[in-house]
A = this chain, B = another copy of it.
Amino acid sequence: MVRIKDLLQWIDSWAPFRYAQSWDNCGIQVGNPQSPVTRVLVALDPASSVLTEAQGLECHCLVTHHPLLLRPINSVRTDSWPGTIIMHALISGIGIIAAHTNLDAARVGTNAQIEELLGLESAEPLDAEADLCGDEQYIGIGLVGLLRREATLESLAGKLSEVLGGAVVRITGDPQKQMTRVAVCTGSGGSMIGKVLASGAEVFVTGDMKYHEARLAEENGLAVIDIGHFASEKLVLEPFGNFLRSKAESEGEGLEVFISKSEKDPFKVIA
């Protein structure tokens, strides 16, 4: 029988929790490590719609990328998020686990998905923690590599929008600029611009770029492709689910793994 604590151990073998940033809060968000699990839902966010999906699927565990309790709480108010999620999770007997920056920094993680999508060569970390660098599963915080063929900012952005299922993509910089060296930081990469400039990248693929960050890039001649926080991370769910399935199988344990179908990007563009 698989328990919550087994899932934690499996995740730790795939995207070790020690890779997480010091400010992060990965692992159990709600629940009991001893609780048995036969059905699990994998998603980006511990959102109401996702919890409802988990209830509909009769899951006992929800594994999300974003932590429910990134910031500590001093009350469980059930008239607002995240208290609503805590309440429904406890009542439905659904444990919630987060795999956040440990997943970003792992060889199988969110950044690696975009690296593969772009077919980057000779990729290196944008930033890395010295004591983890020898570690096989560790690829660091963000990465920078080379396109196989030079492309314009516009064409690269267009291609990314297409392969990401028509995601709305925002660019900063001259659309006709040719580029080869690409930096990637999934999620919200604005604080990495200094590292990106130091890396010699010509374009930075990320999400959640803010205005002043875009200006800073512009002033320093760095092009930016903001593919959206959601689209930049969504891709990891499939391999994550596959890993859990095959792990359970190899352990001889019965576990049904679902990928969330209810999640949508919270932003819609009005032209």
Contacts and interface: CB of A to CB of B under 8 A. Distances in A.
B80 A220 contact: yes
A30 interface: yes
A165 interface: no
A78 B90 contact: yes
A131 to B, nearest CB: 14
A74 B270 CA distance: 37
Contacts of A74: 25, 69, 71-73
Contacts of A13: none
A33 interface: yes
B208 A267 contact: no
Interface stretch (A101-109, A141-149, A211-219, A254-262): A211-219
B90 A86 contact: yes
B31 A219 contact: no
Interface in A63-109: 66, 69, 71-81, 84, 86-87, 90-91
A172 interface: yes
A199 interface: no
A266 B214 contact: yes
Contacts of A229: 210-212
B210 A208 contact: yes
A61 interface: no
Nearest to A175: B268
Given A90-B91, A188-B210, A270 B161 contact: yes
A75 B69 contact: yes
B33 A76 contact: no
A208 B207 contact: no
Contacts of A171: 267-268, 270
10 contacts: A31-B76, A32-B77, A48-B219, A76-B76, A80-B197, A80-B220, A171-B267, A208-B210, A211-B267, A215-B266
Given A169-B269, A208-B210, 16 more contacts: A25-B75, A30-B75, A31-B76, A33-B77, A45-B215, A48-B219, A73-B74, A81-B216, A86-B86, A158-B270, A172-B267, A172-B268, A208-B211, A210-B210, A211-B230, A271-B271
